[in-house]
Amino acid sequence: MKMVQECLVGLANEGRLTLQVPLVSFTGGTEIEVPEEWFTYLDSKNGKLVPSDASHGFTFFTEEGFEQNKDAIKSAFTTAILGKYNTTQEDIDQHWQSFLTYAQQHFSDLKHLGYATPR
Query: What is the rounded average pLDDT of the residues 12-39?
Result: 90
Quick one: pLDDT at residue 114?
Answer: 67
Q: At residue 1, does pLDDT exceed 50? A: yes
In the chain, the largest separation of any two C-alpha atoms, in whole Å, equals 42
pLDDT tens profile 37-93: 999 888 888 877 777 877 778 899 999 999 999 999 999 999 999 888 888 999 999
How does the average pLDDT of the chain come out, rounded? 88
In a domain? residue 119: no
Q: Which domain covers residue 26, as residue numbers?
A: 2-112
Quick one: pLDDT at residue 118?
Answer: 44
Number of domains in the chain: 1
Q: What is the pTM of this model?
A: 0.86
